[in-house]
Structure 1
Amino acid sequence: MVLAAQVRADDVAWAAGGPASVESAPDGAMDPIAALIEQRLALRSAAADETTALLYLGRGYRPLWGDPERASALLSAIEQAATHGLDPQDFRPQRLRMLRAVPDDPVERVDRELVLTDTLAELVRQLRYGKVDPRTLYREWNYTPVPNPYQLAGELARVLDAADLRAAIEAQAPAVPLYRALRRALATYQSLAALGDWPKVPGGSTLRPGQSSVRVPALRARLQADGEEGLDAADPARFDALLAAAVERFQERHGLEADGIVGAQTLRALNTSPAERARQVRANLERLRWVAADLEGDRLYVDIVGYRADLVLGGRSAWSSKVIVGRPTRKTPSLRDSVVNLVLNPKWVVPPTILREDVIPGVVHNPDYLESHRMHVVDRSGQTIDPASIDWSGARRGGFPYMIVQASGAQGSLGRIKFSLSNRYAIYLHDTNARALFGRAERALSSGCVRVQQPEELAVLLLDDADHWGPAALAAALDSGRTRTLPVGREVRVLLHYSTAALDASGRLLLRNDIYDHDAGILDALAAGPGGGH
């Protein structure tokens, strides 16, 4: 238990704003309340969270909750937790309502003291870092973790030192525009959900402007329920121009291609109820609490659900591009990384999953598969192997001792530039030979890596060497066909992030389809009891 290590008191003196000192009675002994607090904390399990213990150690075990109004401020902040998508019941507000007065009995006073501090510590942690530990949901997760108990104790001390406790608690939540927009949306959708569901549009074939269908009146009613006006028509079954324009506006609000056509993705968004939207907002509030600390400073941000990448330098977008991400069966993971180098005219060593699930079955069904894909087989020493000598039918069962390599060049799967990352999952950014796919609205099409539409501009920015690697020099190196590995001159964090909520260029909230069905796992974890795995 940390309290046994009193020699570390100086390490947490910051929590008191100065050297740790224990409040003393007139005869020089420790104040009885402080002594009892120390005793109670010493008896806690070694597995207990150390934040509260470290806070009191840094403050000489002096009590912190002598003013009943501070307990009232904490209770008020807990009630407000619902507006952040958190559950106030996690903090047992009924118990706190019974603790507002300061009892005369020392044991009861200390019990009250520690309950209030523990509750505040949990509330601050949930608001600042989220309730759920994302590592329990995603094995690849490596964003900045929750700080250690010493740092958490320091943060808690600053909250307690604030003149307005409730405002200080509220200030722990992410101070970013998306978070504020999500809180407003949560209130809106919860109010709408209280009124019931909106009309559903029956399933069926794609609805296109100009058509007539028995499903069109339901579409019209659904959009009217969403606030669209002027949609009444002499022929309610006809998909007229006014209705098409309303569909386009709906699609824009939900991050869909604004083509006025009601296909599967648009139908899914239309039939998402207000209650479901409120749950989606809650999932995104939690998700944003996980990553808010990393969304500052220079960064290369890949918005997986939005199919876009942005390089942010000095607080401004220096580059933006469409991207293609992993399909639902081969999801692009959410992770924090960095570009270690650029490879011009890269060769492609086929990763194990693609080898096992795509290439080997492809060769079994088509002996010309390797040649048509400009691939060859090599052993571990790099020697070329005749593919005819391999038992391809048994390769998936007995293991495959070789590597499949695709030749470099614009026709290769990696295109002409690869942005190598440092993760161990073989995930990176690269050019592509299938550039027509960028014309699609939904671009979850890859095997997990991120394909970039405008890699040359990004390469120049990351090389950050105008004397040697301007656009013309880069183009010449690419045209040479030679494979070269170049170190980056500009180091920025790479954030591959999954979010079903975003802000558009005008600051309007977009609630998007959950292409990987990740929201449900977050909501299940939020519904669990306090702790969430942290």
Structure 2
Amino acid sequence: MVLLTRLFVISRVFFMGFLISGTAFAETSPIESTIAPSSVIEAAAEDNVGQAIQASLEPLKTAFPPLLTSPLHRRVDVSRLVMDFYTHRAYRAAWTNDSDVTQLIASLSATDADGLNPTDFHIDEMIRSQATMQTTPVTPEQRAAFDLATTHTFITALLQLRRGKVDPSRLDIHWNFDANGVDPRDDVNAFFAALDQHDVAKAFALAPPQEAVYGGLRQALAQLRGIRDRGGWPKVVVDHSLKPGMDEPAVAQLRARMVAAGFLDPRLVHGTKYDGAVTAAVKKYQNEQYLGADGMAGATTLAALNVPVDARIDQVRVNMERARWLLYKLQGTFVIVDIAGYKVAMYRDGQPIWRSRVQVGKTARNTPIFQAQITYITFNPTWTVPPTILKEDVLPKIQSNPGYLAANRIRVIDREGNELDPAGVDWTNPRGISLRQDAGPESSLGQVVIRFPNDYAIYLHDTPHRELFAKTVRATSSGCIRVENPLQLVELLFNDPVKWNSAGIQKQLANGKTENIRLPVKVPVLLAYWTVDLGSDGRVAFKPDVYGYDEPVLRALNRPAQMPVLNLHAATASVGPRQ
């Protein structure tokens, strides 16, 4: 009775409190297991274990709310999956085959290759418990405790690999990426099918994203760990900038660092001259790392070169986690904005068909992360100055330059939509007005706006500030995304070579009218944040974390996960979260 009470209390604390990545699972039951009784455990003994499993799970049935009819409100967490799994196998133990447990232990240990923390899964305790059951008589309750905890660990680890360990909605309350079109039940049923087939290793092999980019990140992680294990990469210790033409000992350190980065021929590692080969290597490094490619090892470049390899390992781990959140969304036709990479791409049938540089929000007005549907295009858009930009940017310019409004073709509009004379407005305390810029190529929105309804008034648009695309760091806007080649994207979005080809778009612009044209088919757009790039040659490049989003993800990724704790060496078994 004490055991059952402990199982009930601890299970409620652990099972009900642990949701993998905030994933909502539609109400269903996993496939029924077909595992045959082990030759080691006789049927009668297995019946006793099954009874102990049932007794442990019975109280949990009342812990779940009644089933609802709307699929949008049916949520099942890991505990429900565990309960349904055993219910549909008549509470028969699932881990009676030593080979299955051995495969699980090996697979849990290998999650390190995916940037997860194998210690979360209490592998040593599982090994000790397995050894105890192989050599020492244990009670049905102890076997039941082992089976339940092992199943919970099995599901949790696979879902972490499949969907991520961290719940992104806890880091960003506006997170709205969901798993539309990818039913988590298929994943869970595949996990249980692999267990029934005694192929636990296969379940772990297929759980992570299968896309090439994820495999590339896994390889990059292994390579960086190899560099760490060999002592890390060389540091460039100098208190001043290194420039082409210099001849000093610190250049030898720079040469060694460029060789370690793969940008300089190892045969050129020796020497103290900052010659053309070193300059070319530094420029390549700067381009890859999103630094200004001037060929000089200034303060910013030196700081990047001296980032410890452990920090770069963590950066890759963070982005592998983001990949587990998002890669399942990257299917079919879609537009994706890489905020930290200052670029946008369109994919059709899962293949890239167009890319362009973009400008994104300044650090004080960052571009939010979300998904939406592109629904229409605004040709020849006017621009109503947002309140924040009016207060912080435009109003000071008007106060210092009375001709600013006329020079920028900005009209003053009252609440009724009437145009006012700017001379009659008290610009020290303007009230009840808005500012609207006329359409035109030199307006703030340029010639077109690509619209996708959202709560942030964010959109993709043309811009007259084209000189800023030449900058390496392009966090220059007030939150919206400025696109270098927006008309090319508009043509691809319409996907109508007869009416909306390049000539048709120019004709629409030429009439000068502000007009909204709906797309024949909505196109998903994803505004995502990645701080690593993976080149076609497999090289990993590190971007500046312009908004500082990596650290919260890393903290959550490193936080110990609540998992069942096994102690079969004690007089009675206990299953519950480690404190």
Tell me, yes or no, whether TM beats 0.5: yes
1:382-401 maps to which residues of 2 (within 5 A)? 382-394=417-429, 401=432
**Partners of 1:154 and 1:502 in 2: CA distance:** 33
Equivalent-residue separation in structure 1 for 2:426 and 2:186 (angstroms): 58
1:202 deviates by: 5.1
- The correspondence of residues 230-379 of structure 1 with structure 2, limited to 5 A, is 230-231=267-268, 236=272, 238-256=273-291, 258-379=293-414
Cα distance change, pair 505–454 in 1 and its aligned pair in 2 (3 A): farther
Distance 1:456 1:17, change over 3 A: farther
Question: After superposition, where does 1:94-493 map in structure 2 within 5 Å?
Answer: 94-100=124-130, 101=133, 104-144=138-178, 153-201=188-236, 207-211=242-246, 215-226=250-261, 228=264, 229-231=266-268, 236=272, 238-256=273-291, 258-394=293-429, 401-493=432-524
CA distance in structure 2 between the aligned counterparts of 1:291 and 1:78, rounded to whole angstroms: 23
| Equivalent position amino acid for 1:59 in 2 | R
- Structure 1 residues 505, 43: CA separation in 2 closer, same or farther (over 3 Å shift)? same
2:54 to 33, 38, 44: 38
What secondary structure does 2:363 align onto?
coil
**1:17 Cα offset (Å):** 7.3
- 2:241 and 2:465 mapped to 1: Cα distance? 26
Gaps in structure 1 of 5+ consecutive residues:
4-9, 19-29
The answer to whether the 8 Å contact 1:208/1:262 transfers is yes
Partner Cα distance (2:497, 2:391) in 1: 42
The 1:68/1:209 distance shift into structure 2, 3 A limit, reads: same
Q: Counterpart of 1:361 in structure 2: which amino acid?
A: P
Determine if contact 2:359/2:469 at 8 Å carries over to the other structure: yes
Shift of 1:389: 4.4
TM-score (norm 2): 0.80
**SS class of match (1:72):** helix
CA drift at 1:375: 1.8
- The Cα of 1:300 is off from its aligned counterpart by 0.8
Amino acid at match of 2:499: H
Q: How does 1:13-92 map to 2 (within 5 A)?
A: 13=29, 15-16=31-32, 31-44=47-60, 46=63, 49-92=79-122
AA of the residue aligned to 1:91: F
Q: Which whole-Å CA distance do the structure 2 matches of 1:383 and 1:150 have between them? A: 57
**Contact 2:360-2:367 within 8 A present in 1 as well:** yes
Query: Which secondary structure does the structure 2 equivalent of 1:50 belong to?
Result: helix
Shift of 1:105: 1.9
SS class of match (2:457): coil
Q: Deviations over 1:185-228 (max 9, x none)?
A: 22222232234454433576765433556753442342244454
Q: Note the alpha carbon deviations across 1:23-68, whole angstroms, 9 max, x for none.
A: xxxxxxx954434323312324837742212222333333211112
User: Does residue 522 of structure 1 match 2:556?
Assistant: no
1:531 Cα offset (Å): 5.8
- Return the letter of the residue paired with 2:149: V
**2:367 is paired with a residue of what secondary structure?**
coil
Q: Name the CA shift for 1:479/1:298 in 2 (closer, same or farther; >3 Å).
A: same
Q: Contact between 1:54 and 1:153, CA under 8 Å: does it hold in 2? A: no
Query: 2-side partners of 1:206 and 1:328: how far apart?
Result: 27
Between 1:129-138 and 1:158-167, the stretch displaced more is 158-167
Q: Tell me the distance in 2 between the aligned counterparts of 1:34 and 1:379.
A: 75
Deviation at 1:145, TM superposition (A): 5.0
Q: Using the TM superposition, give the Cα deviation of residue 420 of structure 1 relative to its aligned residue in structure 2, in angstroms.
A: 0.5
Moved more, 263-272 or 68-77: 263-272
Whole-angstrom CA distance in 1 between matches of 2:243 and 2:459: 38
Distance 2:387 2:327 in 1: 34
Sequence identity percentage: 35
Measure how far apart 1:495 and its partner are: 1.4
Letter in 2 for 1:50: R
- The amino acid that maps onto 2:92 is R
Secondary structure class of the residue paired with 2:143: helix
Letter in 1 for 2:86: Y
Task: Quote how far apart the aligned CAs of 1:388 are.
Answer: 4.3
Partners of 1:349 and 1:406 within 8 A in 2: yes
Aligned equivalents of 2:388 and 2:241: distance in 1? 34
Distance 1:241 1:261, change over 3 A: same
Instruction: After superposing the two structures, state which structure 1 stretch, 32-41 or 132-141, moved more.
Output: 32-41
SS of 2:228's partner is helix
In the superposition, relative to structure 1, how do residues 449 and 115 fare at CA in structure 2: closer, same or farther (>3 Å)? same
* Amino acid paired to 1:63: A
2:252–2:270 contact (8 Å) kept in structure 1: no
Q: Quote the Cα distance in structure 1 between the aligned partners of 2:31 and 2:387.
A: 50
Q: Which deviates further from its counterpart, 423-432 or 69-78?
A: 69-78
Aligned to 1:27: none
Distance 1:11 1:339 in 2: 31
Following superposition, the deviation at residue 525 of structure 1 comes to: 1.0
The 2-side partners of 1:339 and 1:204 are apart by 50
**Residue 173 of structure 1, CA deviation:** 0.7
2:142 maps to a residue whose letter is E
For the 8 Å contact 1:144–1:293, the answer to whether it is kept is no
Secondary structure of residue in 1 paired with 2:337: strand
Structure 1 contact 377–385 (Cα < 8 Å) conserved = yes
Q: Report the Cα offset of residue 243 of structure 1.
A: 0.7
User: 2:239, 2:368 → 1: CA distance?
Assistant: 33
Paired amino acid for 2:146:
R
The one-letter amino acid of 1:266's match is: T
Q: Residue by residue, what CA displacement relative to the aligned partner does 1:302-341 show, whole Å, maximum 9, x if unpaired?
A: 1222222111112332222111112222222222111110
Partner SS for 2:445: coil
Instruction: Report the Cα offset of residue 127 of structure 1.
Output: 0.6
Q: Kindly tell me: are residues 465 and 249 of structure 1, through their superposed partners in 2, closer, same or farther at Cα, counting changes over 3 Å?
A: closer
Cα separation, 2, equivalents of 1:273 and 1:467: 55
Counterpart residue identity of residue 46, structure 1: A
Report the number of matched residues: 509
Cα deviation 1:262-287 (Å, max 9, x = unaligned): 34543332121211111111111111
Structure 1 pair 61–412 and aligned structure 2 pair: CA distance change class (3 A): same
Contact 2:331 2:349 in 1 (8 A): no
Spell out, residue by residue over 1:163-202, the C-alpha distance to the aligned partner (whole angstroms, 9 max, x if none).
4212211320111222212222222222322344544335
Secondary structure of the corresponding residue to residue 446 of structure 2? coil
Query: Which whole-Å CA distance do the structure 2 matches of 1:373 and 1:481 have between them?
Result: 17
